[in-house]
Chains A and B, each alone.
Chain A
Amino acid sequence: MAKSYDVRRLPGFGAIAVLTFILLYLPILVLVVFSFNAGPSQSEWDGFSLQWYVAAFGNQQVQDVSIRSLWLAAVAAGMATALAVPAALATTRVSRFPGQTMIYALINQPLMVPEIVTGIALLIVVAWVKVNTGYSGMAYLVLAHTAFCIPFAYLPIRARLETLDPTLETAAADLYANPWQAFRYITLPLLVPGIAAGFMLGFVISLDTVVITEFVKSAGQDTLPTYMLGQLRRVITPEMNAIATLFLALSLLFVTAFFLITRKRG
């Protein structure tokens, strides 16, 4: 077969992709550089110093809120993904049924409403439950974040599911696999990229969720974003840049680990 083109190449796409990556990393670069600034400014370079890292490590509150943010993001994204997979199975590649649009709208509802509205709504409900039960632990934040992350986990999984070849499952059924086996051994492995994308989106979204957390949190439940929001009116020091850089280092650690594992398998 005479190939006139490399089917995977589209002219200019590589250049745009590279440009996109540069644009993505430019602000991050600035942030990392100024986390090592000797002065308090985020625009004037005063020489190299680790003082903001020392400050961040010396600040118990900063450490607490950072760890709480990461924990909350992992739990909420995990739960949201676990809920989104069956929801995607239920609403994709099935003949239309009454109420399908309704379900679709419900799932995507947290996307459609600005955080401030969900925040106020949750404040009223959550405060009522807190007063009546006396419980004021992290469950409220986990629940609120999970709900908020569901559509972000759902959409990539659904998109992946829609591109899957349904005859694979039919084939499995023909081979006497029950629906669970068909899902476990055929659909689920094929869904993994969608699930990974969904989990990462959920994680990132949870890390950024600020207004909802602000209204739902109880005493001692500040996350990194609400801690920063509280500073917005005053002054944001390069200490924040130092923490951001540490978060980046952490994610790089993940990437490296992930990369090494996948390479070993290959």
Chain B
Amino acid sequence: MKKTLVSTLALLASAGIAHADGVLNIYNWGNYTSPEMIEQFTADTGIEVTITDFDSNETALARVRQGGHGFDIVVPTHSYVPIWIEEGLLQPLDPEIVTDRGNIAPQWVDVDFDPGREYTVPWQWGTTGIAVNTSVYDGDINTADIIFNPPEALDGRINVIPEMSDVMAIAIYAAGGDDVCTDDMDVLRATRDMLMEAKPHWLSLDYGTIDNYVAGDILAGVYWNGATMRARLQNPDVAYGYPATGYPVWMDNAAVLADAENVENAMIFINYILQPEHAAMLSDFARYGNGIAGSEEFMDPEMAAAPEISIPEELVSAGRFNPTCPQEVQDIRTQIWTELLQ
């Protein structure tokens, strides 16, 4: 009943726009776009959507930079948004069509990477923290020590996702650094030494590990909140901790490409995902928060109440956005990372 009402409203909302029929090409992370929402979008607007996947921010950027790609919408992570904007790869959102930017939750409006949301709107946001199997570990879960100075029970059963920027951020914070892009050599040295000492205690640096957490092959690790939730739903012992020393917050954002061929359709889509009921569909599928105010009431109740989504009050301030580091700093970070993985 509610659904019919919502789609009727959406239909009315889009009816005002003439010639909405046509196509739209979305370039997004794999398995990240709710098929139900796309289906409904097509039903509501008559726009046929094609989704093409990318597997990393670097690939997406390299691909679009070279031109001739045919995409209309891209969904880069916040740390890359300033580069996309600076290089003129995105176009400002059209205020005539994208009328509902007011739906963005207040804390996500004036963000550093796109002040005032001139170019982008939230897609999904999340945190990178610590997943722990509490059946073997009953200590504090909100500490990076689990990874960098692991207790006996977790030794050799730790997985770290191979995301350089996330892992370096947690490590630099844990080593006493304040700024992820620090060029303070003492902090970087401490970070390197800490990582090198910790590595023998790790089992793997891998992505596809939900099954491993569920099966108990992996007992702890650096992991994303949404993925940890998927693991917890299959194994209630898996818990998600927020390192008190600091942890990265990230947000993927939808934007319209400067050389998009279907600009109007792209703008319609951007406004479409600003509607709480549609944002909720994205979250139900991808299992992350969406940054749209009022979307909780449309979400799967299991999602809305999940401890992986609602950060404990006292730990909110420890979460920080990773900026994109200058190339000199990035070089040092890559060198440390290469040393770690050699």
0/1 interface trace, chain B 1-39, chain A, CB 8 Å (1 if under): 000000000000000000000000101011110010000
B284 CB to closest chain A CB (Å) equals 14
| B66 near A40: Cβ-Cβ < 8 Å | no
Number of interface residues of B (CB under 8 A): 32
* B28 CB to nearest chain A CB (Å): 8
What mask results when residues 36 to 59 of chain A are scored 1 for a CB within 8 Å of chain B, else 0?
Answer: 000111111000000000000001
Taken together as a complex, chains A and B put the C-alpha atoms of A217 and B30 apart, in Å, by 15
Complex Cα gap A129–B25 (Å): 20
Is B29 in contact with A131, judged by CB distance below 8 angstroms? no
Verify A127–B234 contact, CB threshold 8 A.
no
Q: Measured between alpha carbons, how far is A196 from B25 in the docked complex, in Å? A: 39
Which B-chain residue is minimally distant from A42 (CB atoms)?
B211
Q: Does A8 contact B (CB under 8 A)?
A: no
How close is A138's CB to chain B, nearest CB, in angstroms? Answer: 12
* Contact A43 B215, CB 8 Å, known A128-B66, A232-B207: yes
- Contact check, B30 vs A40: say whether CB atoms are below 8 A apart: no
Is B335 among interface residues, defined by CB-CB distance under 8 A?
Answer: no
Q: Which residues of B contact A215 (CB under 8 A)?
A: 59, 62-63
Chain B residue nearest to A214 in the complex (CB) = B59
Chain A residues bordering chain B, tally (CB within 8 A): 38
Q: Tell me the complex Cα distance, A40–B230, Å.
A: 10
B68 near A235 with CB under 8 A, answer no
Contact of B53 (CB < 8 Å), options: A42, A123, A128, A230: A230
Q: Is the CB of A130 within 8 A of B71?
A: no
Are A236 and B67 in contact, CB atoms less than 8 angstroms apart?
A: no
Contact B69 A227 (CB under 8 A): no
For B51, give the chain A residue with the smallest CB separation.
Answer: A61
Question: Are A235 and B51 touching (Cβ within 8 A)?
Answer: no
Indicate if the CB atoms of B208 and A217 lie closer than 8 Å: no
Across the interface, do A130 and B211 meet the contact criterion of CB distance under 8 Å? no
- Can you give 14 contacting A-B residue pairs, CB < 8 Å? A43-B214, A127-B68, A130-B68, A136-B70, A214-B54, A215-B59, A217-B52, A218-B70, A219-B71, A220-B52, A228-B30, A231-B53, A234-B286, A235-B210
Closest 7 CB pairs of A and B: A230-B30, A130-B68, A230-B53, A127-B66, A219-B70, A219-B25, A220-B50
B residues sitting closer than 8 Å to A (CB atoms) are 25, 27, 29-32, 35, 50-55, 59, 62-63, 66-71, 207-208, 210-211, 214-215, 227, 230, 234, 286
